[in-house]
Structure 1
Amino acid sequence: MAEAHAAVAFSFTVTPEGVNLDLNHEVFKAIWQSGLLSWKKRIGRMKNNFRNGLFPASPMSFVFTLSIVMALHYGGFDPSFGLIFFFQTHMLGLDVSNPIISYDISCALFAIIMWLIAILLIKYSLKALLTYHGWIYEVRGPISIKTKLWLGLVRLFGGRKPLLNSYQAALPKLPVPSIDHTITKFLESIHPIMDEEKYKRMEKLAYEFKNGIGKKLQRYLVLKSWWASNYVSDWWESYVYLKGRSSIMINSNFYGIDCVLEKPYGCQVARAASVIYSAIQYRRDLDREELEPLLLNKIVPLCSAQYERQFNTTRIPGIDIDTIVHLKDSNHVAVYHKGRYFKVYIKHKGSYLMPAEIESMLQKIVDDPSEPAKGEEHLAALTAGERVPWAKARTEYFSAGKNKASLHAIEKAAFCVTLDEESHNYDPDDPTAFDKYGASLLHGKGYDRWFDKSFTLVVFANGRIGFNAEHSWADAPIMAHMWECALSREFQELGYTADGHCSGKLSDQVPNPIRLEWDLPSPCLYVITKSLSVARQLINDVDLHVMMYTYYGKRFMKKCKVSPDAFIQMALQLTYYRSEGKFCLTYESSMTRLFREGRTETVRSCTAESCAFVRSMDDPKKTNAESIKLMQIAADCHQRAYREAMTGLGIDRHLFCLYVVEKYLGLDSPFLSEVLSEPWRLSTSQTPHQQAQRLDIEKYPNRICGGGGFGPVADDGYGVSYIVAGEDTVFFHISCKKSCSTTNANQFGNNLIKAFADMKSLFDESS
């Protein structure tokens, strides 16, 4: 498929009659519109930065301040105690000007000073207030007088109509926990999973570290916390994600699925066009900061820093470390269909294209009979294989000519789109269908998702959708927020015709999609083949089971006076113990976005209290009442640990950063080496639901999203993601490796169902 474009804005020819100058007015018009749009965006960002700098005050507050100063001064009272007169008589230019004008200017200068001082006082007062976290321990209990007073002050200083980033400057820094706290909590967490001999050895190493080099490492870390906006996030991004040299497919990337109970309204290209448009509108809200910041309990702000790189972002491979490249804007998406890549514009003549117009371009791609270039079909396998071969190939074969231009079209796209040839769906009569659906989003065929892109939108042949997201730029709640907004916009604001196409009319001049061209030499084709081989080995080894549990959900869990998350974590502990006959180190992800640039912290869900509850479930000597009591104790312990992780008192990020400092100093700690090498055989994460509150789930129960999942973290362990969707539904995404003889995702799912049933029977029989 080809598209004619003017290459230059003007051309001229010399003839016997003279010089013939041919101006291309369309190109000049496009240049003018592009420049105008760029300046509008700059002015918009400057305006937002100005508002955010003043927040929680507003520009109108200056008018109020000036009015008060002028009214008091003209009323015979000097609020400046002589400072206005000092300005009038000593500032250059004011002492010789008209007395009335110089007087008014002096009042305005004093008002500006008072206004800026007031803004700083309010801002730092809010920042000091947000360091208090006692409220989080009183969410479901009686509220103390201290917390009530704190809530009132936060409301008073919290400002009105905040932009997305308005609270960023007021967020406190993540504190560094004390060595004593971290060591104590660490030893508590490993005691249940170690025998006494191993525990005593680890205890000795821990105390030697605490009383030895731990103090020195802690001093460096505290120094970094004073200097950096967050002492964890930059090292976490670099060392956990970007320095990894193995495949990011399955090992790092995660996926999300559709509202599986709702039948897709549109055909493949219509659904793709509608969701592309919805995602771009969400990007526009981000650019303008019109997306409301998330507030816990509608009061406490969460950090919004991760949203910045959601679009126009690509992970670029490197020999030693990858880099994240983010562009301020992008006017196209990259589309993959039947082994071919296309550049599809989302803007034309300064305006966003509507869903019907995007659909017409996608339809041209589907109707295009051309064959992929040699090596083009499997090109994305480079992003699925190991990072070093991809980095070398990118430098050697994609640094000039067609390949460079085409690669840049993909890497500079707002995001990638795959029009998949397969159909996937949720089928309650065929459990394997859901597994195949999740697996296709997790890894596809190893070459049909661009795994380096911030996210790839996948649209299946039957109109069902999902996404695959790269993990280094942000965590799953950020993608979940966009996904929720995009799907709700599609449902509430956009529509489809009776035959499944996008509503709306086509404009006269819709741009054609541009086929990307490639010229891949034989050595490059060899690297692609090797990367695809690595990807297929990973794909063949992953065992994924996705299930929808509908027997009961958070409605029943709350009746048991147990947090739904704690209830599910106890069920997972019971399931793992019954599956493996032992307990293991358990990872649950918790966010630290109460702090500036916060990302995640680990909740160690396997505790002495949870182990006591699990053992009681299969102990015939224990009554139901005793098991319920043990579960409630374990759940309370888990909730306390979760809150500590959220409020900067977690231990794993602290230990990780101590380890990084140790390596920078060239030291060696047996304690840190063992701690950081311990495998997380049960890695869990809860996907948040209804962050934006854009859709009434009670009114539209079929619009619940099925969440998403990730690959196993340990070779002999499980990865379990879950989403509490609605009052009586929980989705689980369970992964492990087929090469491990002791793990089986389907068996784990069956044991989880039994654990849920047994836990419910405790309360049923007691009542």
Structure 2
Amino acid sequence: MVKVGMPKPCSFVKPCHLVKPVSVTRISGRYLTHQRGLPTLPVPPLQQTCERYLSALEPIVNEEELQQTKTLVDEFQKSGGDGERLQRALEKRAENTDNWLSEWWVQVAYLDYRLPVVVHSSPGLVLPQMNFSDKHGQILFAAKLIAGVLDFKSMIDNETLPVEYMGEKPLCMNQYYQVLSSCRIPGLKRDSIVNHARRSSPPKHITVIHNCQFFVLDVYNNDESPLTVEQLFGHLKHICTSSQHPDPDPVGILTTLDRDSWGKTYQNLIKDKTNSDSVSAIQRSIFTLCLDGAMPRVAEDRSSAAVQMLHGGGSQWNSANRWFDKTLQFIIGEDGTCGANYEHAPAEGPPIVALIDHVVEYTRRSEIGQAPVLTSSAVPQKLHFNVSPEMKKDIDEAKHAMNKLAQDLEMKVVVFEHFGKNIPKTYRMSPDAFIQVALQLAFYRMYQHSCATYESASLRMFRLGRTDTIRSASSASFKFVKAFDNASTQNTEKVELLEKAVRAHKWYTNMAISGQAIDRHLLGLKMLALEERSSVPAIFTDKSYSKALHYRLSTSQVPSKTDCVMCFGPVVSNGYGVCYNPMEDHINFAVSSFNTCNETNAETFAQTVRGALLDMRTLLEQTPKAKL
């Protein structure tokens, strides 16, 4: 099972920015009309996918494995064979659904995934350090943040959210309507997602967690207007005053368990009516706000902040001050550490980042007056849990497992300050492709071979589109990285190889966002074979297919207006998770690896990427051919 990263607006189109519309009048059906106007996801031609699959394998498998796979692919796509039969069935499915892939993808990539969502699936987002360092500043910023989310929510509720475009192509906006008032529900073998946003009586409250205690905070007045920053400040102050000591039985830590264990524990938890009501209130809430305690100050503030956003630092810190099944959790530390964590099943990164960009801008211009006196009817309600002896045991097991996972993850956030998008653009190169080639060079320098590399490509040009894979390890990139440190290769030749590698990446990106990449097509064919309960074709049990899906580099570009960076864990035990936000004159990187793997080291890889970027720029500067 492979975790998906976050899709990216592609480098060859203008980035899209949300602009709040002048009118917030509800236009009934605008969202649905827009969605119906989008094209459906195509099914690529079988022969095309087979050819491109073999090309993608060339830099990551040996010659013997490649020849074996060619034989299996020829058998698969022969006239009257398994491939043709499954292709026809997939084309028929595409004719009868809004998106032949999306339901399968959410099921396979997320709901059937049984490792903990923490680290393994849910990304974190690290905002710049805020200028407060006490409880008052924390509460004030939190009040502004809530107001900013509600301001963004009004555009979703009124269907006035500006449609995003990729070039001249409108994008699917469905994910924006999935992130608020939604939650993942643990199951015994498969999880599910519940969304309350578009029901007849949508939720009016958020969940606030402080000292591992949960509170329901209604964020709308009786006249349906959102609470003011002043009102929110008063409510949050009341919550913090009434929960000054950590809960000795922190139920939130249970959401860090592997999904099978959590599914069983969940069934026992909700047998009690008080527990069931409390869990339901959390699940229905618009979002969760986690007010964290102060953390120990360390030199690497942004790396430690990333740890807080991704998993909370373990049970002794803030891992229990969460409900990780909640689609969207905003996290605010008393020391000015801020960010978010989101459960990945309903959405990719860009809609989350767009929401957060809006919220950060809102907090900067929001002012607060005199905090009002609360009336008794306005007091936030604490959620109660009856913890049985069996549940205490489950909580202890969850603490132990979470602490082990927290100790295993190495997270390194670095700001590459030497240049950003500006340098690749100077040489008429895609910044994203340039960075991806640098990642290939860094990996090759450390391991002397290429590996299967995942980069997210957005399929939002299509109705209900999610992602496909940009395979950044190409024959062109492999030739470049092999030649780069070879003293006998001339610089002019190295520049030519670099340009070819960048063009190859851009070509694959264009292909992927157009619905013509190979990975989701192959998945669809395999899913049909599984549903038929027939024998799975040999190309899916082949060693090369396993290698192709063993992403030692799982990467994603998630650009934003805010100077932030997303982070996520590796998707394989000996791999790296690499997320980056290219700004105009610098690049924010978050690199992760597992300490239990002797082959990997996040800090070393981050520094190797730094060296690769600098050396590639030097090559361009010193080679006359490359100068414009």
Give the Cα separation in 2 of the matches to 1:161 and 1:622. Answer: 63
Task: Give the structure 1 partner of residue 554 of structure 2.
Answer: 683
Q: Residue 210 of structure 1: which of 77, 85, 103 is its match?
A: 77
Q: Residue 661 of structure 1: which of 514, 521, 528 is its match?
A: 528
Task: Give the structure 2 partner of residue 413 of structure 1.
Answer: 285
Task: Give the structure 2 partner of residue 743 of structure 1.
Answer: 600
Letter in 2 for 1:197: E
Give the Cα separation in 1 of the matches to 2:493 and 2:203. Answer: 60
Cα deviation, residue 462, structure 1: 2.1
Give the Cα separation in 2 of the matches to 1:251 and 1:580. Answer: 24
Question: What percent identity do the matched residue pairs reach?
Answer: 29
Contact kept, 8 Å, 2:452 with 2:551, in 1: the verdict is: yes
Contact kept, 8 Å, 2:234 with 2:371, in 1: the verdict is: no
Contact kept, 8 Å, 2:208 with 2:289, in 1: the verdict is: yes
Give the Cα separation in 2 of the matches to 1:508 and 1:749. Answer: 50
Letter in 1 for 2:230: A
Cα deviation, residue 348, structure 1: 2.6
Matches within 5 A, 1:592-607: 592-607=459-474
CA change 1:531–1:676 in 2 (3 A) is farther
What is the TM-score with the length of structure 1 in the denominator? 0.73
Task: Give the structure 1 partner of residue 205 of structure 2.
Answer: 332
Contact kept, 8 Å, 2:125 with 2:565, in 1: the verdict is: yes
Task: Give the structure 2 partner of residue 587 of structure 1.
Answer: 454
Is 1:527 the equivalent of 2:394?
A: yes
CA change 1:304–1:736 in 2 (3 A) is same
Give the Cα separation in 2 of the matches to 1:264 and 1:507. Answer: 24
Q: Counterpart of 1:167 in 2: which secondary structure? A: helix
Cα deviation, residue 561, structure 1: 1.4
Q: Residue 437 of structure 1: which of 305, 314, 319 is its match?
A: 305
What is the TM-score with the length of structure 2 in the denominator? 0.89
Matches within 5 A, 1:258-657: 258-260=127-129, 263=131, 267-297=137-167, 299-328=168-197, 329-350=202-223, 351-368=225-242, 371=245, 374-375=248-249, 377=250, 379-423=251-295, 430=299, 432-444=300-312, 445=314, 446-492=319-365, 494-495=366-367, 502-503=368-369, 506=372, 509=375, 511-657=378-524
Task: Give the structure 1 partner of residue 4 of structure 2.
Answer: none
Q: Deviations over 1:317-340 (max 9, x none)?
A: 011111101113211111111121
Give the Cα separation in 1 of the matches to 2:502 and 2:69. Answer: 27
Q: Deviations over 1:467-490 (max 9, x none)?
A: 000000111111111111111122
Cα deviation, residue 627, structure 1: 1.1
Is 1:247 the equivalent of 2:116?
A: yes
Contact kept, 8 Å, 1:656 with 1:676, in 2: the verdict is: no
Contact kept, 8 Å, 1:176 with 1:222, in 2: the verdict is: yes
Q: Counterpart of 1:632 in 2: which secondary structure? A: helix
Cα deviation, residue 531, structure 1: 2.3
Letter in 2 for 1:305: N
Contact kept, 8 Å, 2:144 with 2:362, in 1: the verdict is: no
More helix by share: 1
Give the Cα separation in 1 of the matches to 2:435 and 2:151. Answer: 35
Q: Deviations over 1:358-377 (max 9, x none)?
A: 111111122225645552x2
Cα deviation, residue 281, structure 1: 1.6
Task: Give the structure 1 partner of residue 570 of structure 2.
Answer: 712
Give the Cα separation in 1 of the matches to 2:285 and 2:33. Answer: 28
Task: Give the structure 1 partner of residue 19 of structure 2.
Answer: none
Matches within 5 A, 1:148-163: 163=30
Give the Cα separation in 2 of the matches to 1:311 and 1:482. Answer: 11
Contact kept, 8 Å, 1:566 with 1:638, in 2: the verdict is: yes
Task: Give the structure 2 partner of residue 753 of structure 1.
Answer: 610
Letter in 1 for 2:193: I
Letter in 2 for 1:392: K
Give the Cα separation in 2 of the matches to 1:166 and 1:639. Answer: 32
Q: Deviations over 1:560-585 (max 9, x none)?
A: 11100010001000000011121101
Cα deviation, residue 388, structure 1: 2.0
Q: Counterpart of 2:142 in 1: which secondary structure? A: helix
Q: Deviations over 1:268-291 (max 9, x none)?
A: 001111101111221121011111
Give the Cα separation in 2 of the matches to 1:139 and 1:342. Answer: 44
Q: Deviations over 1:600-646 (max 9, x none)?
A: 01011111111111122101112222211111111111101000000
Task: Give the structure 2 partner of residue 226 of structure 1.
Answer: 95
Q: Counterpart of 2:556 in 1: which secondary structure? A: strand
Contact kept, 8 Å, 1:163 with 1:291, in 2: the verdict is: no
CA change 1:232–1:575 in 2 (3 A) is same
Contact kept, 8 Å, 2:132 with 2:138, in 1: the verdict is: no
Q: Counterpart of 1:391 in 2: which secondary structure? A: helix
Give the Cα separation in 1 of the matches to 2:243 and 2:591. Answer: 39
Q: Counterpart of 2:378 in 1: which secondary structure? A: coil
Letter in 1 for 2:568: F
Higher relative contact order (CA 8 A, sep 6+): 2
Q: Deviations over 1:249-298 (max 9, x none)?
A: 101000111134x635971001111101111221121011111010223x
Give the Cα separation in 2 of the matches to 1:162 and 1:296. Answer: 23
Task: Give the structure 2 partner of residue 721 of structure 1.
Answer: 579
Q: Counterpart of 2:58 in 1: which secondary structure? A: helix
Give the Cα separation in 2 of the matches to 1:584 and 1:551. Answer: 27
Matches within 5 A, 1:134-213: 163-211=30-78, 212-213=81-82
Give the Cα separation in 2 of the matches to 1:165 and 1:480. Answer: 23
Give the Cα separation in 1 of the matches to 2:369 and 2:71. Answer: 69
Cα deviation, residue 464, structure 1: 2.9
Contact kept, 8 Å, 1:313 with 1:326, in 2: the verdict is: yes
Letter in 1 for 2:364: F
CA change 1:276–1:199 in 2 (3 A) is same
Cα deviation, residue 534, structure 1: 2.1
Unaligned runs of 5+ in 1: 1-135, 141-159, 496-501, 691-703
Give the Cα separation in 1 of the matches to 2:296 and 2:34. Answer: 42
Unaligned runs of 5+ in 2: 1-9, 15-26
Aligned residues: 584
Cα deviation, residue 507, structure 1: 6.6
Contact kept, 8 Å, 1:415 with 1:454, in 2: the verdict is: yes
CA change 1:611–1:730 in 2 (3 A) is same
Q: Residue 762 of structure 1: which of 619, 624, 627 is its match?
A: 619
Contact kept, 8 Å, 1:715 with 1:737, in 2: the verdict is: yes
Letter in 2 for 1:682: L
Q: Counterpart of 2:113 in 1: which secondary structure? A: coil
Contact kept, 8 Å, 1:257 with 1:705, in 2: the verdict is: no
Contact kept, 8 Å, 2:559 with 2:580, in 1: the verdict is: no
